[in-house]
Amino acid sequence: MAKSKKKVFIPTSLYEKVEEEIASSETKSVDEYMIKLLEEKFLKDSGGNLSNEDEDKVKERLKALGYMD
Amino acid sequence: MKLNSDVNYIVSGLERSGTSMLMQILEASGTPMAIDKKSRPPDDNNPKGYFELEGGKIINKLMDEDFPFSDYRGKFIKITAYGLKFLPTGKYRIIYSQREIEEILDSMEKMAKITDENRTETKELFIKLNNMIMDLIRNRDDVEVLFVDYNAILSEPEPNIRKIYDFLGTEEADLDAMLGCVDKRLYRNRIKR
């Protein structure tokens, strides 16, 4: 199911800067760029270390991929 | 071609972030490599091989403090991101690959033959892991690191592979052969838009 979304407004000048920034990248829309930027910011700000629970989930995934026993 | 025999050279990044392609580029350059091609042979997920040691299961040995780094000085080895958490004090030069997270998740799901029902959670987890490891290696005094972008290497090989060539610090590396490695046909998990 798609995540619900809210509309935000940014200055046209900023929007155009983002358009320039993504013109030669794989990112295809300003929306996508902003979402990625904000996700990375908030995840980074949420703390540098993985919790023990997080690490266990990482290990589970790495085992499924064959990178760990 | 020789690299500094006092240094451990590492290719890293999240699993499925393009580390095998980096290893392939380095092998083409003439750089000494430590690869065990038999333990995990090429397959549909990595048609040109995994370029790993011990089937890529170095992480267990690192966690047990049982990986013989001294045997691999002066050569490139591949240690995926989580393994870098367990690097003992040493002298390292690391090339660290970054890739669009959605492509990494697509590739992981394909490789593990699963549909991730908790993909949003997995995404947050691996972004967090990536940030943690990048901060870790950026801040270690015994690590020199080059961050590269897998997507950028494929879209603009010349300037991006030249950064890797420059990082090697030797004119003996074969830049043309490195450039010849980039195979857009293998760019299979690109985000479809």
> Domains in chain B and their CATH numbers?
8-181 (3.40.50.300)
> Taking a C-beta distance cutoff of 8 angstroms, is the pair B10, B17 a contact?
no
The pLDDT value given to residue B28? 93
B155 Ramachandran zone, left/alpha/beta (phi>0; psi -120 to 50): alpha
A65–B135 CB contact, under 8 Å? no
A66–B59 CB contact, under 8 Å? no
Nearest partner of B92 among B75, B109, B112, judged by Cα: B75
Q: What is the ipTM of this complex?
A: 0.75
Through-space distance between the first and last CA atoms of chain A, rounded to whole angstroms: 34
* Residue B179 or B118, more confident: B179
Reply yes or no on whether the pLDDT at B191 is more than 60: no
Contacts of B16 in chain A (CB under 8 A): 65
The pLDDT value given to residue A12? 94
B131–A44 CB contact, under 8 Å? yes
Contacts of B100 in chain A (CB under 8 A): 26
Exposed, middle or buried by CB within 10 Å (0-12, 13-18, 19+), for B137?
Answer: buried
Distance CA B59, CA B30 (A): 26
Segment B130-159 mean pLDDT: 93
Segment A2-22 mean pLDDT: 87
The pLDDT value given to residue B12? 96
Say which range, B33-37, B45-49, B172-176, B178-182, has the weakest mean pLDDT. Answer: B45-49
- Can you give the residue ranges of every domain in chain A? 12-65
Identity of the residue in B59, B108, B124 whose CB atom sits nearest the CB atom of A68: B59
Full-model pTM: 0.78
* Residue B110 or B147, more confident: B147
* Residue A38 or A48, more confident: A38
Segment B149-173 mean pLDDT: 93
The pLDDT value given to residue A1? 43
Distance CA B119, CA B122 (A): 5
Contacts of B80 in chain A (CB under 8 A): 62, 67
Reply yes or no on whether the pLDDT at A2 is more than 60: no
Minimum distance, in Å, between the CA of residue B74 and any CA atom of chain A: 24
A26–B151 CB contact, under 8 Å? yes
> Taking a C-beta distance cutoff of 8 angstroms, is the pair B191, A26 a contact?
yes
Residue A49 contacts B where some CB pair is shorter than 8 Å: yes
The pLDDT value given to residue B56? 64
Say which range, A43-52, B137-146, B176-185, has the weakest mean pLDDT. Answer: A43-52
Reply yes or no on whether the pLDDT at B193 is more than 50: no
Beta carbons within 10 angstroms of residue B138's beta carbon: 11
A26–B125 CB contact, under 8 Å? no
Q: What percent of chain B has pLDDT over 70?
A: 87
Contacts of A54 in chain B (CB under 8 A): 125, 128-129
Reply yes or no on whether the pLDDT at A3 is more than 70: no
Write out pLDDT tens, residues B58-70: 899 999 888 999 9
> Taking a C-beta distance cutoff of 8 angstroms, is the pair B107, B191 a contact?
no
Mean pLDDT of chain B: 87
Segment B162-186 mean pLDDT: 87
A-interface mutation test, from B82, B138, B139, B155, most A Cβ less than 10 A away: B82
Write out pLDDT tens, residues B82-139: 999 999 999 999 999 999 999 999 998 888 788 888 888 889 899 989 999 999 999 9
Write out pLDDT tens, residues B30-53: 999 998 866 666 667 666 666 777
The pLDDT value given to residue A45? 57
